[in-house]
Structure 1
Amino acid sequence: MEAPLCILSAAAALLGLINHYFFRNYEPSGANVPFLLLATQPAVLVFVGGASFTSNNNTRLLYYTYAYVVFLCSLCLSIVAYRLSPLHPLAHYPGPKIGKVTKLWGLWKAARGYKYLYHKELHDKYGPWVRIGPNEISVIDAPAVRQILSLGGLEKSRYYEAGRHEATPPSIVCLSGDAHTAKRRVWNRAMTPAAIREYEPLVAKRARQFISRLREQDLDTASGVDVVRWVDLFALDLMGDLAFGGGFEMMRDGGDVDGLGERIRGFVKASNLIGQVPWTINTVQKLPQVDRTVQEFNAFGQNLAMRRMKNGAVGTKDLWYHLADEAGVEKEIPSLENSAADGIVAVVAASDTVASTLSSVVWFLLSNPGCYRRVQQELDSVITDGDDPFDATKHQELNFLSACINETLRLHPPLPSNGTRQVYSRQPDRIIAGRVIPSGTTVSTPAYSLHRNPDYFSPHPDKFLPDRWLGDSRFDRHDTSAFIPFSLGPSNCVGQKFAKREMLMVLCVLFKSFDMRFADGFDGEAWPKGMQDFFVVTRGPLCVKLTPRHGDSINM
């Protein structure tokens, strides 16, 4: 090798090592500067070397290429060696080598929609603490999870910022600390028992329409009725009423004419994937297509908010009434943009999560005929002909149906992977359940894996057995501290009580109105395989044969 080439090789290799040391110790907050440095440094090295590195103009391109190859190889080898070495702060946590080496592996799993199953496989193999990324661990140790998520635990990671455009105010999802506490105060008022009672007429109205539209379908067709489709339309119509005073009439139209549901799912999926590599968020959001998608979605929310302010509520006090502080309780009235951001959060979070759970309850019960018969028997004994199926006092007697909902939330949590928490680089190491969480570490607490951990739910943690929620002595382990379908702590789902009320109301009238079974030729056993996790869950069609049970005898 010629002397200039040897010098260039050594210089480029050293430059790669210096870059690794710098970025490891001074973690970038964005990708713009790192990408610029990585793209230009080898070229600068050759240019500065001048005649020392290039004997003539004909070989200059060769030297530039050589410098880039050596630089990138040195950088990558240094990164890989460090991440697999005992010197890495997470070296004592077990996990797959490919996950320790690169976050791109986890991104690929997330892009396919099956990250929740991947995490479950890893925990089955390695235990409750698993290293799933270069600087990320996944935890399904219940005491640790509670400490991570509870007051005084770890802060939200930058994952939650992925769906917000820099020009729009942060919603409650993005906020932490005092700002989150102030925003949460408004949401808490919107979800008091008194406020929820105000929403019940809107739920009942949409649930009646839901049943009516199901009755209008051709129930004699062999292909049956797609429950997932109609539940999705119901949930979006209802949240449109609550959050923005109406405007969605998807059940009336028989479909998502304006593509709102697809727009929401596309937005959530994009945000979820961007959030897998948080330090690239600012860069990725500047890409024209991504920037346009995020801006259009935020503008959509503001248009809905302006229409609600102009037209008023559908009926009584709705969710917007509280989010916009129309009662004037707060010292400072929220801006239109702030209220719109929270309204969109309500539509996205409440429609997808409730619809997902309702669909899964139907699937579990049709897959377990004995449980389905018990639900119908309980409903027939508690809500007799002429009773109001929306009477919340009656719902308190539906112990087995409530157990079925809980068991569904355990096995099919609406957020299977949850968001992430983080010990930021500026913070000292944390001790969680006796274990050191080094500075700069991201922490996942996947509900899907935790809920199926035999240390907390046994025997048969993967089976649908609602009796475990009724104090059945056959279940020697039933630790509800490991049950987190709505997360925990100050950032738990503020709408969980309303969600349970809504699910009971809808399921009561659905199971009282129809006898159900899987449609002819529909592979019910395979249905869960189509569930994909993009923070919220997407599901394939659930085709069901419906037979009216009581005609119009129910007080609808």
Structure 2
Amino acid sequence: MHSESISLWAVVLGLIRSLIFVSQLNHLYFNQHEPQSAILPFVLLVIEPPVLLVVFDTPSSFSGARLLYTYAIFLSSLSLSMILYRISPFHPLAEYPGPLISKATRLWDLWKAYGGRKYLYHRRLHEKYGPYVRTGPNEISVTDIDAVAQILRNGGLNKGRYYERVRQDYIPPSIIHALGEVHTAKRRVWNRALNPTAMHDYEPLIAKRATQFVSCLKRRGTVDLGCWIDMLTFDIMGDVTFGGGFEMLREGRDANGVGERIRAFLTVGNLLAQIPWIMKPVGLIHHVGQAVNEFDKFAQDLAIERAKNGAAAGKDLWYYIADESDLEQVKPTLQIAAADSLVAVIAASDTTAYTLTSAIWLLLSNPECYQCVQQEIDSVIANGDDPFDANKHRQLYYLSGCINETLRLHPALPSNGGTRQVRLEQPGRFIAGRYIAPGTSVSVATHSIHRNPDYFSQPDRFLPERWLPDSKLEKHEPSAFIPFSLGPANCAGQKFAMREMFGVLCVLFKSFEMKFADGFDGEEWPGSIKEIFIVARGPLMVTLTPRNHQHQVQATVGTVNNSDSTV
């Protein structure tokens, strides 16, 4: 009996040793061979423990408890091995400082992303640890502007695996996901679609919707101005991209739930992007896959309608993206053109709406800046002039400073919209004198850069005059201003967005006196901002009073030096 017990314990110890050994083999293999999806690792982790249990079977009967213990030992050993390696001095990123929990697991950043405040958390990390912070087992965040330029510009790091994995295989790659030559070809088309000649065709569409926007607001006293700006930008991009189809301003609401569907899709995508290897298996879940399919079908339906009806007036964005002029060697399919066109709607509606809403909030929070903007617009754009005249916009220096300051304080993509990576199969890279090991993902912390006191004096204050030629502020580093990113993957529509923002703000200030609605606490509004890849925000309640144009003040704007709002 005693010998049988010894034999049983020997078998159990052999099983434990084997479980630990095999778990270490798993760690070693996947550390050197990055999985493209969680499916293979998941299958192996499910199969290996019971296989080992069968191999080391003891005379006692097979039981659920024994299987549970086997899984516990195997997974505990694997997890402990991974964590110890990640926090050890032997890890390739051991020299980069950061919280211990971030070094140990990516799930901590996932939790911060879930709350929509990851960009604020990363800023606190940079303030504590410096310009290079380890934010995950194989991730670093960077705020050093020399490094940022080398990462994002030509010859920098490639887009990370994130861009490949957040898309299901059956969905055509858009310009967001495209890499290498495919991205270059798509960008050539986008540059053609957004050159000055092409944008001239879009200006009447912007003016038409902005006029409708003002007309709608005049019938209402107090409104959620952010909501109405959302509807305006969606209608504009619906016209510019698909020849119309949304009509949110006419309905006074998002009747088809376009914005809601887009934000729900981006919220899920943003969370899965924190652990992108899980995207494909999660896509197999019925409800998730159904949501992705419905979103894809939404884009396809818009594309089919535009292809059937043609442009509303002149050449629209679809004309270029679908290559209706037959300039490309390979004409895109309807599905590919639809994917890129929907990117245009998402990228140019929510981001522009957030910037416009933030600009209004900042100006209402700083009455002296509000007065300067209004006076400048009145002095440059006389009654009866076209508020969408780009030549007039070039004379609005203070308004330009306000827009830039808004983009600095509230960048539309606080985390720069994605990562770069040194692929595991590539050699390591030196960036600004720092070694980046193979397999490392690198993110550019735009929000943290824009609020870095090393680059901007009084970085948390709204000071539009910092952008004027006679600014007296000590620190002002234009190279640290990257609201549209840098390099070959920068925002293709930045000039269009600026043209739209100038026009909308001009027509708003010419048409209305604005103030926070009674009972609305403007100071609390920034607390409603959440990053979901783009930015979601709460209501901005504003009272609008139509202006009496016969009594507009015509004055030259002076420099404001007494803005004291901290944002």
What TM-score, normalized by structure 2, do the two folds share? 0.94
The aligned runs of 1:115-126 (5 Å cut-off) are: 115-126=118-129
The aligned runs of 1:18-417 (5 Å cut-off) are: 18-50=25-57, 54-57=58-61, 60-217=63-220, 219=221, 224-417=222-415
Q: In structure 2, do the counterparts of structure 1 residues 396 and 415 end up closer, same or farther at CA, with 3 Å as the change threshold?
A: same
Offset of residue 454 of structure 1: 1.2
Give yes or no for contact 2:14–2:56 (8 Å, CA) kept in 1.
no
- The answer for the alignment partner of 2:427 in structure 1 is 428
Give yes or no for contact 2:190–2:321 (8 Å, CA) kept in 1.
yes
Q: In structure 2, do the counterparts of structure 1 residues 331 and 8 end up closer, same or farther at CA, with 3 Å as the change threshold?
A: closer
Render the CA deviation track for 1:339-380: whole Å, top value 9, x for unaligned: 111110000110010000000000000011110000011011
The amino acid of 2:11's aligned partner reads P
Tell me how far apart the structure 2 counterparts of residues 267 and 473 of structure 1 sit (CA, whole Å).
43
Tell me how far apart the structure 1 counterparts of residues 64 and 302 of structure 2 sit (CA, whole Å).
56
The amino acid of 2:33's aligned partner reads Y
SS class of match (1:449): helix
Render the CA deviation track for 1:7-39: whole Å, top value 9, x for unaligned: 222222222222211211222111111001111
Give yes or no for contact 1:209–1:251 (8 Å, CA) kept in 2.
yes
Tell me how far apart the structure 2 counterparts of residues 65 and 249 of structure 1 sit (CA, whole Å).
57
Render the CA deviation track for 1:443-473: whole Å, top value 9, x for unaligned: 0002101111111111x01111011100344
The amino acid of 1:333's aligned partner reads K
Give yes or no for contact 2:11–2:56 (8 Å, CA) kept in 1.
no
The amino acid of 1:241's aligned partner reads D
Give yes or no for contact 1:385–1:553 (8 Å, CA) kept in 2.
no
Give yes or no for contact 2:383–2:549 (8 Å, CA) kept in 1.
no
The amino acid of 2:396's aligned partner reads L
Tell me how far apart the structure 1 counterparts of residues 51 and 209 of structure 2 sit (CA, whole Å).
65
Give yes or no for contact 1:13–1:71 (8 Å, CA) kept in 2.
yes
Tell me how far apart the structure 1 counterparts of residues 535 and 66 of structure 2 sit (CA, whole Å).
50
Give yes or no for contact 1:163–1:294 (8 Å, CA) kept in 2.
no
The amino acid of 2:13's aligned partner reads C
Render the CA deviation track for 1:107-166: whole Å, top value 9, x for unaligned: 111111111101111001100100000000000000100110101111111222455332
- The answer for the alignment partner of 2:449 in structure 1 is 450
Give yes or no for contact 1:379–1:508 (8 Å, CA) kept in 2.
yes
Tell me how far apart the structure 2 counterparts of residues 72 and 162 of structure 1 sit (CA, whole Å).
25
Offset of residue 553 of structure 1: 10
* Identity score, percent: 57
Tell me how far apart the structure 2 counterparts of residues 548 and 461 of structure 1 sit (CA, whole Å).
34
Aligned with residue 504 of structure 2, among 506, 515, 523: 506
Tell me how far apart the structure 2 counterparts of residues 352 and 153 of structure 1 sit (CA, whole Å).
28
Q: In structure 2, do the counterparts of structure 1 residues 206 and 163 end up closer, same or farther at CA, with 3 Å as the change threshold?
A: farther
The aligned runs of 1:6-25 (5 Å cut-off) are: 6-25=13-32
- The answer for the alignment partner of 1:530 in structure 2 is 528
The amino acid of 1:347's aligned partner reads V
Give yes or no for contact 1:226–1:544 (8 Å, CA) kept in 2.
yes
Give yes or no for contact 2:168–2:280 (8 Å, CA) kept in 1.
no
Q: In structure 2, do the counterparts of structure 1 residues 63 and 273 end up closer, same or farther at CA, with 3 Å as the change threshold?
A: same
Tell me how far apart the structure 2 counterparts of residues 472 and 9 of structure 1 sit (CA, whole Å).
73
Offset of residue 316 of structure 1: 1.4
Q: In structure 2, do the counterparts of structure 1 residues 279 and 502 end up closer, same or farther at CA, with 3 Å as the change threshold?
A: same
Name the stretch that deviates more: 23-32 or 142-151: 23-32
Offset of residue 311 of structure 1: 0.8
Tell me how far apart the structure 1 counterparts of residues 42 and 328 of structure 2 sit (CA, whole Å).
45
What TM-score, normalized by structure 1, do the two folds share? 0.96
Q: In structure 2, do the counterparts of structure 1 residues 31 and 420 end up closer, same or farther at CA, with 3 Å as the change threshold?
A: same
SS class of match (2:520): coil
Name the stretch that deviates more: 380-389 or 430-439: 380-389
The amino acid of 2:60's aligned partner reads N
SS class of match (2:543): strand
Tell me how far apart the structure 1 counterparts of residues 210 and 246 of structure 2 sit (CA, whole Å).
14
Tell me how far apart the structure 1 counterparts of residues 322 and 32 of structure 2 sit (CA, whole Å).
44
SS class of match (1:545): strand
Name the stretch that deviates more: 20-29 or 512-521: 20-29
- The answer for the alignment partner of 2:515 in structure 1 is 517
Name the stretch that deviates more: 16-25 or 75-84: 16-25
Tell me how far apart the structure 2 counterparts of residues 487 and 467 of structure 1 sit (CA, whole Å).
23
Name the stretch that deviates more: 417-426 or 87-96: 417-426
Render the CA deviation track for 1:362-412: whole Å, top value 9, x for unaligned: 000001111000001101111111212122211111000010000000000
Render the CA deviation track for 1:266-288: whole Å, top value 9, x for unaligned: 11111111111122222122221
Tell me how far apart the structure 2 counterparts of residues 4 and 160 of structure 1 sit (CA, whole Å).
47
The amino acid of 2:54's aligned partner reads F
Give yes or no for contact 2:166–2:276 (8 Å, CA) kept in 1.
no
The amino acid of 2:505's aligned partner reads L
Tell me how far apart the structure 2 counterparts of residues 310 and 22 of structure 1 sit (CA, whole Å).
52
SS class of match (1:505): helix
The alignment of Structure 1 onto Structure 2 pairs a total of residues equal to 544
Offset of residue 425 of structure 1: 0.5
SS class of match (2:41): helix
Tell me how far apart the structure 1 counterparts of residues 477 and 369 of structure 2 sit (CA, whole Å).
22
Task: Flag structure 2 segments of 5+ consecutive residues without an equivalent.
Answer: 1-5, 553-567
Q: In structure 2, do the counterparts of structure 1 residues 200 and 168 end up closer, same or farther at CA, with 3 Å as the change threshold?
A: same
SS class of match (1:132): strand
Give yes or no for contact 1:512–1:550 (8 Å, CA) kept in 2.
no
Offset of residue 188 of structure 1: 0.5
Tell me how far apart the structure 1 counterparts of residues 63 and 55 of structure 2 sit (CA, whole Å).
13
The aligned runs of 1:426-505 (5 Å cut-off) are: 426-458=425-457, 460-505=458-503
Offset of residue 552 of structure 1: 10
Tell me how large the CA RMSD over aligned residues is.
1.4
Render the CA deviation track for 1:523-544: whole Å, top value 9, x for unaligned: 1011011110011000100001
The amino acid of 1:176's aligned partner reads L
SS class of match (1:206): helix
Offset of residue 551 of structure 1: 6.2
